[in-house]
């Protein structure tokens, strides 16, 4: 039993989705998160325990990503492996027997169509046990305001890749803070720096997905 749970965590970290997946090469032909999660649940392992293993695995790969030991491809494969776990755990979330740590609203700001970074953050945060509400790309301030209204107590994450859309990021923060002063906003994306984030009035800046998780787990838990 222990072993199954540990293996799920390892498969998340290594990005092993299922038996037929060719990635990673040294695990070819072995079971991935898909099969292992099914087997663990069938054997009576609690979903909380599986979720914990999953988020531990995501943390390990997220930390390695922060240290630049692995890059986007590895993190994406881990997220894919994590999604396979989540697919099995979904019914438990729906019935409320497993609870999310809180809500995280994320989107790429107005005028920006880039979603690679935003998706990575969404997946890593979800893998850490948060409910993620993804507003997609080119999300206007009003869309964020609506989402905050519908999800009281949520934290908001704003993403931008284009330097030119940083102005919209700043505007979006302004509008959120005006209507919901208590809502925490964290920003990220290639052109961002801590200095730029401070100037925009963001509560946090993260240079990588694990930084967002640390921010969420650190202070804004509801």
Partner 1 sequence: MISFIETLKSGKVLVSDGAWGTMLQERGLQPGECPELWNFTHRSSVFAVAKGYVDAGAGMILTNSFGGSPIKLAHYDLQGRAAELNEAAAAISREAAGDSRFVLGSIGPTGEMLMMGQVSEEAVSDGFRLQASALKKGGVDAIIIETMSAIDEATIAIRAAKDATGLEVICTFTFDRTVQGEYRTMMGVTPAEMVKAVKDAGASVIGANCGNGFDQMIDVVKEIRKADSTTPVLVHANAGLPIVEDGKLIYTETPEIVAVKARKLAESGANIIGGCCGTTPAHIRALVKELKTA
Query: Which of the 8 DSSP states describes residue 146?
Result: H
Span from 71-79, 81-89, 128-136, 178-186 in contact with partner 1 (CB under 8 A)? 71-79
Q: In the set 22, 44, 96, 195, which binds partner 1 (CB under 8 A)?
A: 195
d(CA 5, CA 41): 10
CA–CA gap between residue 97 and residue 109 (Å, rounded): 34
Report DSSP state, residue 139.
Answer: B
Sequence-ordered alpha helix ranges (H) in 138-208: 141-150, 166-179, 194-200
d(CA 190, CA 112): 12
Regarding 111 and contact with partner 1 (CB under 8 A), the answer is yes
Does position 76 interact with partner 1 (CB under 8 A)? The reply is yes
Indicate which single residue of 37, 55, 159, 168 sits in contact with partner 1 (rule: CB under 8 A): 168
Q: Is 28 in the site for partner 1 (CB under 8 A)?
A: no
Query: Is residue 163 part of the contact set for partner 1 (CB under 8 A)?
Result: yes
Q: Which of 28, 193, 219, 221 binds partner 1 (CB under 8 A)?
A: 193
Contact between residue 29 and residue 76 where contact means Cβ atoms under 8 Å apart = no
Choose the stretch contacting partner 1; rule: CB under 8 A; options: 5-13, 32-40, 144-152, 162-170: 162-170
Q: Does 139 bind partner 1 (CB under 8 A)?
A: no
Among 38, 60, 101, 114, binds partner 1 (CB under 8 A): 114
Least separation in angstroms between CB 3 and partner 1:
30
8-state DSSP, 207? S
112 lies in the site for partner 1, by CB under 8 A:
yes
Helix (H, G, I), strand (E, B) or coil at 9: helix
- 199 sits near partner 1 (criterion: CB under 8 A): yes
Show the tokens assigned to 191. Answer: 């052109």
Binding piece for partner 1, criterion CB under 8 A, among 36-44, 95-103, 106-114, 175-183 = 106-114
CA 204/CA 133 separation, integer angstroms: 19
Q: Are 131 and 100 in contact (CB under 8 A)?
A: yes
- Out of 43, 71, 91, 221, name the contact with partner 1 by CB under 8 A: 71
């Amino acid at each position: 039993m222990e072993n199954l749970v540990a293996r799920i965590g390892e498969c998340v970290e290594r990005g092993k989705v299922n038996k037929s997946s060719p990635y990673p090469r040294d695990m070819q032909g072995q079971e991935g998160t898909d099969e292992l999660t099914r087997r663990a649940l069938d054997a009576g392992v609690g979903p909380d325990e599986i979720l914990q293993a999953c988020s531990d695995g995501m943390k390990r790969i997220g930390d390695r990503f922060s240290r630049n030991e692995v890059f986007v491809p590895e993190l994406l494969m881990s997220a894919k492996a994590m999604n396979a776990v989540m697919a099995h755990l979904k019914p438990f979330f729906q019935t409320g027997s497993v609870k999310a740590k809180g809500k995280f609203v994320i989107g790429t700001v107005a005028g920006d169509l880039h979603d690679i970074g935003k998706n990575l953050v969404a997946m890593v945060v979800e893998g850490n046990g948060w409910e993620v509400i993804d507003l997609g790309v080119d999300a206007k301030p009003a869309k964020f305001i609506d989402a905050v209204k519908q999800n009281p107590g949520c934290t908001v994450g704003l993403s931008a890749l284009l330097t030119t859309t940083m102005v919209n990021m700043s505007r979006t923060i302004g509008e959120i803070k005006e209507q919901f002063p208590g809502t925490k906003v964290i920003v990220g994306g290639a052109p961002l720096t801590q200095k730029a984030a401070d100037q925009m009035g963001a509560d946090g800046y993260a240079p990588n997905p694990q930084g967002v998780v640390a921010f969420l787990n650190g202070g804004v838990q509801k």
